[in-house]
Copies of this chain bind each other. A is one copy, B any other.
């Protein structure tokens, strides 16, 4: 196919758009690939749509290769199935809801577990029909609070979502593995640098879950990894390495001290080091009790105390992930007033437990550890309070921040944090959705058996931004061949009629050789044309320029920047081999 720039619906921009902060957003807009219609809502212009379709093609090929079958569910969905699973409510403001002319409730699908479970229930009735994996590549909707960076985090976006249905846990593990492998192939073909991290499954429910994160400084996801072992995990998924319990024998008794004006950890540590406790005290020796209130959607608010070593903050994301699907809020002044036993800055385990407040502690607070903590009275702390002896928490919680240098959960090396963009997600959902809809099929032994589900997503439109983010320079985009909007960008940079005709013939021959050509046949200066070729980022740039008179054509590699002249006579073969590598 030959696409003429003289005809193409394209206008490149010299300046970055005012609302763009990240390189991919700036370049995709400047190069005329996408345009903003509303916050998080974009249109795809011709070249952008081609890249999107290329990504879709790669995803589709790899899904078909693992035997997944493509179907298409609607985006406009009735409320009922989402009511059954409580996601109509759980999604909160993130769901676009609407009513039809008769007042019936609908939503715009953010993900389709409910509908796929119902679809399989509707068609398949026997163990002989399983396993089955279905997928769709479809426009999805989420009313993001902060749509961001153009198509990177949109409110209308294209996603590939697939769902596996197996009769056994082993089958699910196999389907999960097949998807995980397919995703590795997809992201490798797309030229994306990524890591696979252990993940919590959030509102999706279920157990085993990993995320594919594209490495990127502008990513919103923080993950940690151990260089030594290759371990990588979402911060939310990091399991704290707990020390071994300590025997109580010989541990000193707890003693309450007057500690005037020590409402913060820093002031408390200062007091402790001045009080001659017989040892140097650091923040890690103190136990900080943070109060929040928690509720399951639709339920009542209840107090929850979270105890963490004083040298660490509570990480809101980790706390939130640990509590899901319950939500939490910080206490208001009114909450403190209603619970006078909570003495701000001096809260201790004693008052919490006497007043029936649920008390969860960091996993480092094992039996036998001794703490300086609040004594539930202004200006008073208790020293030498021993976990398991002087107080017994209701359990542990992963809520304390993870820090660079923390030991890796797999026992090898220490953790370092990095940022990434979520591009894929694989879940072993289990039977949450098949339970909700009572999806039962006839088992081999004649008894009903309930399929177990996996759920797998790839952010298709997001990947266009991710690839642009990972593959650009200060001049423009640099598409990997697999997703480029064309194979060759052929620039006519010579006003001579013979050169123009030669370029036109070359385009026709390259087209005949099966390549997609963008032909810059505009009446513009070579400088303008070269700048646009750099901005558009097609991998191989061919220039019919001054050298034409000497029988030469130039071939430029947009990725390496290398350039070489080849004889016009062999140009077709040379370009084909440059494209096909």
Task: Tell me which residues across on chain B come within 8 A of A98, comparing CB atoms.
Answer: 96-98, 108
Chain B minimum-CB-distance residue to A3: B69
Any chain B CB within 8 A of the CB of A25? no
* Interface presence of A93 (CB below 8 A): yes
Decide yes or no whether A7 CB sits under 8 A from chain B: yes
Instruction: Please tell me if the beta carbons of B43 and A11 are within 8 angstroms of each other in the complex.
Output: no
Complex-state Cα separation, A545 to B42, whole angstroms: 55
**Across the interface, do B78 and A38 meet the contact criterion of CB distance under 8 Å?**
yes
User: Residue-by-residue, is A43-84 near B (CB-CB < 8 Å gives 1, otherwise 0)?
Assistant: 111100100100000000000000101111111111000000
Give A366 Cβ to nearest chain B Cβ, in Å. Answer: 43
**Known: A122-B35, A132-B9. Contact between A70 and B49, CB under 8 A?**
yes
Question: Pick the contact of A74 from B37, B69, B115 — CB < 8 Å?
Answer: B37
**Does residue A155 face the partner (Cβ distance < 8 Å to B)?**
yes
Set of chain B residues within 8 Å of A8, measured between Cβ atoms: 69
B69 touches A9 (CB 8 A): yes
Contact partners of A72 in chain B: CB under 8 A: 43-44, 49, 52
How far is A485 from B141 in the complex, measured between Cα atoms in Å? Answer: 29
Asked if A563 CB lies within 8 Å of chain B CBs, one says no
Decide if B69 touches A44 in the complex (CB within 8 Å): no
For A116, give the chain B residue with the smallest CB separation.
B43
Report the minimal beta-carbon distance from A462 to chain B, rounded to whole angstroms. 15
**Number of contact residues on A: which range applies?**
35 or more
Complex Cα spacing A266 to B108, Å: 55
DSSP majority for the A interface?
Answer: mixed
Contact with B along A28-45 (1 / 0, CB 8 A): 000010010110011111
Tell me, yes or no, whether A106 is within 8 Å of chain B by CB: yes
**Given A44-B72, A49-B72, A72-B44, residue A115 in contact with residue B37 (CB < 8 A):** yes
Nearest chain B residue, comparing its CB with the CB of A4:
B67
CB distance from A384 to the nearest CB of B (A): 50
Interface presence of A124 (CB below 8 A):
yes
A322 located at the interface, meaning its Cβ lies under 8 Å from any Cβ of chain B in the complex: no
CB proximity of A370 to chain B, nearest CB, Å: 48
Contact between A101 and B9, CB atoms less than 8 A apart: no
Which residues of the other chain, B, contact A155 by a CB distance below 8 angstroms? Answer: 76, 100
Query: Do A35 and B119 touch across chains, with their CB atoms under 8 A apart?
Result: yes
A170 interface residue per 8 A CB criterion: no
A233 at the A/B interface (Cβ < 8 Å)?
no
Cβ contact within 8 Å between A9 and B123: yes
User: How many copies of the shown chain assemble into the complex?
Assistant: 2
Asked if B74 and A46 make an inter-chain contact with CB atoms under 8 angstroms apart, the answer reads no
Q: Given the complex, which residues of B lie within 8 Å of A74, measured CB to CB?
A: 37-38, 41-43, 156
Whole-angstrom distance between the Cβ of A77 and the nearest chain B Cβ? 7
Residues in B whose Cβ lies below 8 Å from that of A101: 93-94, 143, 145
Q: In the complex the two chains form, what is the Cα distance from A257 to B7 in whole Å?
A: 73
> A10 contacts the other chain (Cβ, under 8 Å)?
yes
Decide if A85 is an interface residue (CB 8 Å cutoff). Answer: no
Q: A45 contacts B32, CB within 8 Å?
A: no
Is A134 interfacial (CB 8 A cutoff)? yes
With A46-B69, A49-B70 already in contact, the answer to whether A156 and B76 are too (CB < 8 A) is yes
Minimum CB–CB distance from A175 to chain B (whole Å) comes to 14
Given A44-B71, A124-B11: A76 and B119 interface contact (C-beta under 8 Å): no
A222 near B: Cβ within 8 Å? no
Question: Which residues of chain B come closer than 8 Å to A10, judged between CB atoms?
Answer: 123
B100 touches A9 (CB 8 A): no
Residues in B with CB closer than 8 Å to A134 are: 9
Residues on B with C-beta less than 8 A from A69 are: 8-9, 46
A417 at interface by CB-CB < 8 Å = no
Determine if A396 is an interface residue (Cβ-Cβ < 8 Å). Answer: no
User: Does A353 reach chain B (CB closer than 8 Å)?
Assistant: no
Additional A-B contact list (17), CB under 8 Å, known A8-B69, A35-B122: A9-B69, A10-B123, A11-B124, A37-B74, A38-B76, A38-B77, A38-B104, A41-B77, A41-B78, A42-B74, A45-B71, A49-B72, A76-B141, A93-B101, A94-B101, A97-B98, A139-B139
Q: Could you pull out 29 A-B pairs where Cβ atoms are within 8 angstroms? A: A8-B69, A9-B71, A9-B123, A10-B123, A11-B123, A11-B124, A11-B125, A35-B122, A37-B74, A37-B115, A38-B78, A41-B77, A42-B74, A43-B72, A43-B73, A43-B119, A44-B71, A44-B73, A45-B123, A49-B71, A52-B72, A74-B156, A75-B75, A75-B139, A75-B156, A94-B101, A96-B98, A101-B145, A139-B139
7 smallest CB-CB distances across A and B, nearest first, come from A98-B98, A93-B101, A44-B72, A38-B78, A11-B123, A43-B73, A41-B74
Binding site for B on A (CB under 8 A): 7-11, 32, 35, 37-38, 41-46, 49, 52, 67, 69-78, 93-94, 96-98, 100-101, 104, 106, 108, 115, 119, 122-125, 132, 134, 139, 141, 143, 145, 155-156
